[in-house]
């Protein structure tokens, strides 16, 4: 009887060990960030990592400092380390296709986050609707000054979002141009999304137009930073309308003090939540419940989620930036 009891106890403990050993491991999800070139990317990282952890994922994270070769090597290491899904903010919209191809060879799915990857059979794309952002920028400026000279500093030529922004801006500006009320005197893409590029192009804009400009629509708040510096140097601070996007803290403060006209608040929390949900579902091979539209990347129609943004101006900071928790009243000195 004692032997039988011992045998049963032994079998019970062996079963527990076996069951524990078979417990499913959390799926590994890789996040490949291009850089921390401005404030918003720290928020993206924080939101993504938090949502992935909540949904039971193990996060592998790397930042490439805008080095394409480095990002490729980071992706390769993540795949070897067992990542089931890669979430990529690409550095170069074309070169990053090599990362997608490498991932697919290993059976790994790829989600392009915020920036599209061209020329490959990309699996998924989640972003803010950049065409709508361009429309918001141009709509707000033209509501204030429907006549005059406008200039566009469109964003990085290596990022598909820049062309989308431009199309959105032109959707609004074209009717004003056709009736002769607005003249777009400058429209150029930048090398990157930086203040240095903003300053470089603003000097050209002002030099070519004898400092006579009505509004400058910048591709991002980082670019707008450079615009504001040059306007201040020329004694035009607060006299030329300036639009940006990303609702960076310093730029929202600039709106409060009247030197920047508007920015655009992107729904980063919602983007991160949807991206995390998609990544975990793919890793665990669960049915997908979200709805997709499609975006062409030149080689495939990519299943995409495009989320609308909100314009931020001097009249709605409390109901947009502060209400959403993106920045606090104390950060803004309110």
The DSSP letter of residue 320 is: I
Torsion on CA atoms 312, 316, 317, 318, rounded to nearest 10? -150
- CATH of 28-122+268-307 given 3.30.70.1400, 3.30.1240.10, 3.40.50.2300, 3.40.50.720: 3.40.50.2300
Q: What is the pLDDT of residue 326?
A: 93
pLDDT of residue 216: 98
Domain with CATH 3.40.50.2300 in the chain: 28-122+268-307, 130-266+311-322
Residue owning tokens 């943004």: 309
| Domain boundaries 130-266+311-322, corresponding CATH code | 3.40.50.2300
- Rounded to 5 degrees, what angle do the CA atoms 136, 140, 142 make? 120
Q: What is the pLDDT of residue 244?
A: 98
Q: What does the pLDDT profile of the chain (334 residues) look like in tens digits? A: 444 555 554 555 545 444 445 567 899 999 999 999 888 899 999 999 999 999 999 999 999 999 999 999 999 999 999 999 999 999 999 999 999 999 999 999 999 999 999 999 999 999 999 999 999 999 999 999 999 999 999 999 999 899 999 999 999 999 999 999 999 999 999 999 999 999 999 999 999 999 999 999 999 999 999 999 999 999 999 999 999 999 999 999 999 999 999 999 999 999 999 999 999 999 999 999 999 999 999 999 999 999 999 999 999 999 999 999 999 999 998 7
Q: At what angle do helices 221-233 and 249-256 cross, to 10 degrees?
A: 50
To 10 degrees, what angle do helices 97-105 and 68-80 make? Answer: 10
């Amino acid at each position: 009887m004692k032997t039988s009891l011992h045998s049963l106890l032994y079998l019970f403990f062996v079963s527990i060990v076996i069951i524990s050993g078979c417990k499913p491991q959390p799926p590994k999800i890789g996040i490949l960030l291009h850089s921390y070139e401005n404030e918003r990317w720290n928020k993206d990282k924080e939101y993504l990592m938090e949502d992935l952890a909540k949904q039971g994922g193990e996060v592998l994270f790397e930042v490439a400092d805008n080095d394409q070769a480095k990002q490729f090597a980071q992706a390769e290491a993540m795949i070897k380390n067992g990542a089931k899904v890669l979430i990529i903010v690409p550095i170069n919209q074309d070169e990053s296709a090599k990362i997608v191809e490498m991932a697919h060879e290993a059976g790994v799915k790829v989600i392009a986050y915020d920036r599209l990857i061209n020329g490959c059979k990309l699996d998924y794309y989640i972003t803010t609707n950049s065409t709508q952002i361009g429309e918001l920028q141009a709509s707000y400026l033209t509501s204030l000054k429907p006549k005059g000279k406008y200039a566009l500093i469109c964003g990085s030529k290596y990022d598909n979002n820049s062309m989308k922004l431009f199309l959105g801006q032109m959707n609004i500006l074209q009717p004003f141009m056709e009736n002769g009320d607005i003249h777009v005197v400058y429209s150029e893409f930048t090398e990157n999304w930086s203040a240095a590029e903003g300053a470089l192009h603003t000097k050209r804009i002002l030099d070519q137009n004898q400092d006579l400009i009505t509004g400058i629509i910048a591709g991002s708040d980082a670019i707008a930073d450079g615009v504001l510096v040059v306007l201040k140097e020329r004694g035009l601070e607060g006299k030329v309308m300036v639009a940006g996007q990303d609702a960076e803290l310093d730029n929202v403060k600039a709106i409060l003090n009247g030197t920047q006209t508007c920015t655009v608040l992107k729904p980063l929390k919602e983007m991160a939540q949807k991206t995390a949900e998609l990544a975990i579902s793919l890793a665990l091979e669960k049915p997908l419940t979200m709805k997709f539209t499609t975006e062409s990347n030149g080689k495939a129609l990519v299943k995409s989620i495009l989320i609308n943004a909100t314009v931020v101006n001097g009249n709605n900071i409390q109901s947009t930036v502060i209400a959403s928790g993106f920045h606090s009243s104390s950060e803004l000195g309110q």
